[in-house]
Amino acid sequence: MGKPVFSASEQALVDQVSPALAGFEARIAGLSSRQKRVLRLRVLAGESLEAIGQRIGFTSERVRKIINKALSRLPSR
């Protein structure tokens, strides 16, 4: 399959988002795979704690705790 073709405005958005996404991935690199998955679902996909919990088999409270622990482990800027 070929590379997707974007309109000029879509490409501008991709160009703006790509560095931010790379920065996000770099910041979460040291986290556990579970923490990374939960943060990606919450931050990038905008899913609720309940939706994330249903997806991975945890309560929303457990998801909240995973997020809080992950955030506390992120490197400071």
**pLDDT confidence of residue 6:** 67
What torsion, rounded to 10 degrees, do the Cα atoms 68, 71, 45, 51 define? -10
**pLDDT confidence of residue 12:** 81
Domain segments of the chain: what residues?
A: 33-77
**pLDDT confidence of residue 76:** 78
Distance CA 74, CA 55 (A): 24
CA 49 to chain centre: 13
**pLDDT confidence of residue 15:** 79
**pLDDT confidence of residue 20:** 84
pTM of the model: 0.78
- Residues 12-59 have pLDDT tens digits of 877 788 888 888 889 999 999 999 999 999 998 999 999 999 999 999
Give helix 60-73 / helix 49-56 axis angle, nearest 10°. 100
What torsion, rounded to 10 degrees, do the Cα atoms 42, 43, 46, 51 define? -10
